[in-house]
């Protein structure tokens, strides 16, 4: 039992000693069989640790000596750079004085040329701005690159423009003026509304407009020609086609005088809504007014045709001796023939009854026309009021910073009023005409019935 306990104690002691040593892992893996063996293992671990420590100490001393050398080299480099910086600073000061002297010498030698170059720079800048927005650049692209180079030279302290460059500036100014008064044809690339680029003939009208294939063109920001998505009225397009097909003489053409400044007049003309677009701006109320107007016109035309036929039959009856029941007068006369033997008062009542029976058919639709003529302006006013409410609500939300948007909303709101008047005025006229035809027929019926009653009274 004692021997077993001693062995266990030796094993535990060896494990603790092995855990405290850094480089004794391999030795600690073998269990010590006795105390002597344990002491031997500890001695070997100390010897190994001592050798490792010496090796590390030697490496540290070597690196320390190397660090001192690096530090000395860094100090030497810093000293050399400081000396070099001082030399460069002194050289910079000398050159700065030399540059100032050269500048004064340059200003003295340039004299009035400096003022001349200032005016030329201003002129070249203005010409460049004009060329960038000029329609002439569509025919002669790349003109502004020369002006950029010239302006850089005139603003430089080391370069001077040549006589040829100054003469070219004068030439470009003259060419811009001359080309602004010409109508010429040239071939160029035109961008279609779908993005396709087509090479075709282009007509340039001075510095005002570009047309091609009977369509108006515009200059894009990249100085490219693009076909306008929306074109002006057909008469202007017809003029554009005639101008492109003309070879000599004078041709009428719709020129935009604001072309050199961006073509604002043409854009306003194009963006102005047409009749159909104005009609759609009326919205639901506008559609209702249009529907009511169509009904009124159809009713008026139908009643006018019917009353014209009735009027012709009544006129034929006036020329006939026998009563024909295919017209109101014939039916009234037939009643008179059926009641020849009655007294005058009864005959009068019978005749009034016959005329009253014919009146509804003759006056049919007149009341509806009158109602439509009265309601149409009211519907237009309703649409205007609702449109103004919507416009003012938008102003309340987004503000009144854009007068165009506010004016556009008010303009759209007034469309219904125009539609209402456009329906009411013709309806009133048609009602007057139809009512006149109806009254004429009724007047004939009353006149004939009164004549028949008078003749009957004379006979008795």
Neighbours of 206 (CB within 10 A): 16
Cβ-based burial of 85 (10 A; exposed 0-12, middle 13-18, buried ≥19) = exposed
Q: Is the pLDDT of residue 105 over 90?
A: no
Q: How many residues does the chain have?
A: 460
Residue 351's contacts (CB-CB under 8 Å, 6 or more residues apart) are 332, 335, 336, 449, 450, 452, 453
Residue 14 is predicted with a pLDDT of 43
Domain boundaries, the chain: 2-63, 111-180, 183-263, 281-459
Six token digits for residue 434: 């139809």
User: What confidence score (pLDDT) does residue 26 get?
Assistant: 41
Cα–Cα distance, 442 to 427 (Å, whole number) = 22
Encode burial over 396-432: b for 16+ CB neighbours within 10 A, e otherwise: eeeeeeeeeebeebeebbbbbbbbbeebbebbbebbe
Q: Is the pLDDT of residue 305 over 90?
A: yes
Instruction: State the pLDDT at residue 47.
Output: 66
Beta strand pairing status for 215-219 and 183-191?
unpaired
- Alpha-carbon span 357 to 206, nearest angstrom: 76
Band the pLDDT of 6: cuts 50, 70, 90.
very low
Compare 154 and 211 and report the one with higher pLDDT. Answer: 211
C-beta neighbour count of 63 within 10 angstroms: 10
As a whole number of angstroms, the distance between CA 169 and CA 174 comes to 9
Residue 435 predicted with pLDDT over 90: yes
Question: pLDDT tens digits, residue range 344-354?
Answer: 788 888 888 88
Residue 9 pLDDT > 50, yes or no?
no
**259 neighbors 209 (Cβ within 8 angstroms):** yes
Comparing 325 with 202, the larger pLDDT belongs to: 202
Q: Say if residue 1's pLDDT is above 60.
A: no
Query: Is 408's pLDDT higher than 70?
Result: no
Cα 50 to Cα 39, 46, 55, 350, 426: the distances in Å are 17, 6, 9, 154, 123
Across 394-412, average pLDDT: 70
Give the pLDDT score at 85: 92
- Residue 99: both structure tokens together: 């540059």
pLDDT in tens, 235-285: 888 888 888 888 888 888 888 888 776 677 787 777 777 778 788 888 888
199-231 pLDDT, tens digit each: 999 999 988 889 998 888 888 877 788 888 888
Element (H, E) at 407: helix 403-413
String of DSSP letters for 372-398: HHHHHHHHHHHHHHHHHHHHHHHHHHH
pLDDT, tens digit (0-9, with 9 covering 90-100), for 17-49:
444 443 444 444 445 567 777 777 776 776 666
For 413-447, the DSSP string reads HTHHHHHHHHHHHHHHHHHHHHHHHHHHHHHHHHH
Buried b (16+ CB within 10 A) or exposed e, 349-388: ebbeebbeebeeebbbbbebbeebbebbbebbebbbeebe
The backbone torsions φ and ψ at residue 24, rounded to the nearest 5 degrees and listed phi first, read -115, 30
Tokens of 453: 């009653």
- DSSP annotation of 205 reads E
Tell me what percent of the residues of the chain surpass a pLDDT of 90. 20
96's tokens: 């700065």
Query: Phi and psi at residue 326, in whole multiples of 5°?
Result: -85, 5
Q: How high is the mean pLDDT of the chain?
A: 82
Mean pLDDT across 67-78:
85
pLDDT average, residue stretch 286-311: 93
Looking at residue 421, its pLDDT comes to 94
CA distances in angstroms from 457 to 151, 261, 346, 349, 454, listed in the order given:
114, 90, 11, 13, 5
What are 377-388's pLDDT values in tens digits? 999 999 888 888
pLDDT tens-digit series, residues 106-117: 677 666 677 777
pLDDT at 404: 63
SS3 81: helix
Range in 83-97, 321-335, 359-373 the model is least confident about: 321-335
Q: Yes or no: say if 384 and 362 are a contact pair by the CB < 8 Å rule.
A: no
What is the average per-residue pLDDT within 360-381? 92
Q: Which residue has the higher pLDDT, 365 or 321?
A: 365
Q: Determine the pLDDT at residue 25.
A: 41
| Cα–Cα distance for residue pair 30/80, rounded to 1 Å | 63
């Amino acid at each position: 039992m004692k021997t077993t306990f001693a062995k266990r104690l030796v094993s535990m002691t060896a494990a603790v000693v092995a855990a405290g040593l850094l480089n004794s892992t391999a030795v600690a893996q073998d269990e010590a069989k006795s105390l002597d063996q344990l002491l031997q293992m500890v001695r070997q671990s100390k010897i190994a640790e001592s050798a490792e420590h010496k090796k590390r100490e030697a490496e540290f001393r070597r690196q320390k000596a190397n660090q001192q050398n690096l530090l000395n080299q860094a100090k030497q480099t810093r000293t050399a750079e400081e000396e070099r910086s001082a030399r460069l600073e002194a050289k910079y000061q000398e050159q700065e004085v030399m540059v100032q002297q050269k500048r004064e010498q340059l200003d003295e030698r340039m004299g009035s040329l400096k003022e001349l170059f200032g005016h030329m720079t201003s002129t070249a800048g203005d010409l460049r701005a004009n060329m960038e927005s000029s329609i002439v650049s569509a025919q002669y692209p790349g003109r502004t690159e020369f002006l950029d180079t010239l302006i850089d030279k005139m603003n430089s302290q080391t370069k001077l423009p040549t006589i040829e460059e100054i003469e070219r500036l004068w030439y470009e100014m003259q060419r811009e003026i001359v080309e602004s008064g010409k109508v010429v044809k040239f071939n160029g690339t035109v961008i279609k509304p779908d993005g396709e680029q087509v090479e075709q003939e282009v007509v340039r009208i001075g510095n005002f407009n570009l047309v091609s294939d009977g369509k108006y063109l515009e200059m894009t920001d990249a100085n490219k020609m693009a076909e306008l998505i929306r074109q002006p009225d057909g008469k202007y397009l017809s003029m554009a086609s005639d101008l492109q097909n003309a070879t000599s003489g004078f041709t009428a053409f719709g020129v935009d005088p604001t072309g050199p400044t961006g073509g604002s007049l043409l854009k306003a003309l194009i963006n102005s809504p047409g009749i159909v677009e104005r009609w759609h701006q009326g919205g639901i109320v506008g559609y209702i007014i249009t529907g009511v107007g169509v009904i009124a016109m159809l009713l008026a035309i139908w009643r006018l045709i019917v009353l014209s036929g009735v009027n012709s039959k009544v006129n034929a009856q006036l020329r006939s001796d026998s009563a024909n029941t295919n017209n109101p007068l014939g039916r009234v006369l037939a009643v008179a023939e059926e009641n020849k033997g009655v007294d005058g008062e009864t005959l009068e009542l019978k005749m009034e009854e016959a005329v009253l029976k014919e009146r509804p058919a003759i006056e049919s639709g007149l009341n509806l026309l009158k109602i439509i003529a009265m309601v149409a302006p009211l519907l237009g006013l309703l649409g205007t009021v609702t449109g103004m409410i919507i416009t003012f609500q938008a102003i309340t939300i987004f503000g009144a910073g854009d007068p165009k948007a506010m004016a556009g909303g008010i303009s759209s709101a007034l469309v219904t009023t125009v539609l209402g008047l456009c329906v009411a005025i013709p309806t009133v006229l048609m009602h007057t005409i139809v009512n006149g035809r109806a009254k004429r027929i009724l007047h004939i019926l009353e006149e004939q019935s009164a004549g028949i009653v008078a003749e009957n009274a004379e006979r008795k």
